[in-house]
């Protein structure tokens, strides 16, 4: 049973890569949007740009994964093909995990390109690759799962994209992407610590040798713990659509 579920998760993710990776919403929100922000910040202040790199990589993780979840879940909810997946001998959680994996792989590809380009162009060779992977991999899963959770609440692609923008922009402004958390007012600082992107930005910053606000081990533990915290309600909400 578990083997059959794993096989289905793999094939669903593979099919999603083949089917949806070139869909306009995935390209515009998952690739063009983070790249445009990175270029805008680089052109504005190229001298201290490396300070912004951890935040911009984290933002790429956030946008690429959530944009792909919108496509892989809401396109299929709209045309009814998600139901076809549920008619196959795979559990509902298996279908959802396949969708999360599809978003994770897309996010990994985009984030890898942005990270490697940043390292090579800015000469950031002091990066701790192990730490970076230990932060990026759970982060990709966390934001894919967050995307899945938001996407199952609505049916249409545009509704999901709008809904996803609320936590996206909240996190971009409060999680230390552009401003250090230490500079935030106390109330906003408290909010920042409940946002998953805070732990991603902090962990990536430490991977690049910068100073963090939280021990990197805690960043990793929080991110790993958030994966089931987001996937379980997403599975429940998806199941409620088929009650």
Partner 1 sequence: MVKAIEVSRLSKTYDGVVAVDGISFEVETGEVFGFLGPNGAGKTTTIRMLTGLSRPTAGGARVLGYDIASEMVKAKKGFGVVPEQSNMWDELSGRDNLIFMGQLYGINSHERKTRVEELLKTFGLYERKDSKFAAYSRGMKRALTIAAALVHKPRLLFLDEPTVGLDVVAARALRAIIKRLKESGITVFLTTHYLEEADMLCDRIALLVKGKIVAIDTPISLKAMAEEKPALEISFKTPLNKASDELGRRLTGMAVVRVDDKILIYGGDADIVLHAILDYATENGTQVAAITSVKPSLEDAFVKLTGLSPQVMAVEKGGR
- Residues that bind partner 1 in the complex, under the rule CB under 8 A: 1, 4, 7-8, 11-12, 15, 18-20, 79-81, 83-91, 242-243
Q: Smallest gap, in angstroms, from Cβ of residue 231 to partner 1?
A: 19
Report CA dihedral (19, 239, 105, 124) to the nearest 10 degrees: 140
Select 18 or 236, whichever has its Cβ closest to partner 1: 18
Q: Tell me how far, at minimum, the Cβ of 78 lies from partner 1, in Å.
A: 10
- Burial readout 1-38 (b: 16 or more C-beta within 10 A, e: otherwise): eeeebeebbeebbeebbeebbebebbeebbbebbbebb
SS3 sequence of 50-107: HHHHHHHHHHHHHHHHHHHHHHHHHHHHHHCHHHHHHHCCCCHHHHHHHHHHHHHHHH
Nearer to partner 1, 15 or 189 (CB): 15
Q: Which is nearer to partner 1, 81 or 126 (CB)?
A: 81
Given a contact cutoff of 8 angstroms between Cβ atoms, the answer to whether 233 and 147 are in contact is no
Task: Give dist(CA 206, CA 200) in Å, integer.
Answer: 10
Q: Given the complex with partner 1, which of 10 and 169 has the nearer CB atom?
A: 10
Least distance to partner 1 from the beta carbon of 66, Å? 21
CB-wise, 85 or 227, nearer to partner 1?
85
Q: Are 13 and 148 in contact (CB under 8 A)?
A: no
| Residue 56 near residue 38 (C-beta atoms within 8 A) | yes
The least distance separating partner 1 from the CB of residue 19, rounded to whole angstroms, comes to 4
Closer by beta carbon to partner 1, 6 or else 179: 6
Q: How far is the CB of 22 from partner 1 (least distance, A)?
A: 9
User: CB-based contacts of 225: which residues, under 8 Å, 6+ apart?
Assistant: none
CB of 76 to partner 1, least distance (A): 8
């Amino acid at each position: 049973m578990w083997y059959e579920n794993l096989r289905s998760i793999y094939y669903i993710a593979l099919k999603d890569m083949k089917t949806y990776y070139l869909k306009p919403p995935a390209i515009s929100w998952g690739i063009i949007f983070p790249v445009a922000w990175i270029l805008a910040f680089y052109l504005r202040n190229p001298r201290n740009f490396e300070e912004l790199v951890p935040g911009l990589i984290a933002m790429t993780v956030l946008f690429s994964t959530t944009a792909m979840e919108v496509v892989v879940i809401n396109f299929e909810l709209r045309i009814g093909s998600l139901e076809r997946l549920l008619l196959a001998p795979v559990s509902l959680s298996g279908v959802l995990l396949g969708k999360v994996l599809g978003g994770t792989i897309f996010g990994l590809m985009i984030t890898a390109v942005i990270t490697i380009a940043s390292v090579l162009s800015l000469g950031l060779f002091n990066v701790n690759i192990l730490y970076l992977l230990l932060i990026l991999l759970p982060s990709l899963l966390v934001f894919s799962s967050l995307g899945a959770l938001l996407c199952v609440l609505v049916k249409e692609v545009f509704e999901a994209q709008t809904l996803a923008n609320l936590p996206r922009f909240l996190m971009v402004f409060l999680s230390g992407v552009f401003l250090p958390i230490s500079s935030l007012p106390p109330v906003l600082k408290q909010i920042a610590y409940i946002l998953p992107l805070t732990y991603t930005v902090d962990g990536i910053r430490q991977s690049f040798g910068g100073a963090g606000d939280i021990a990197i081990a805690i960043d990793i533990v929080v991110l790993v713990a958030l994966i089931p915290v987001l996937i379980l309600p997403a599975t429940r909400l998806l199941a409620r659509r088929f009650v």
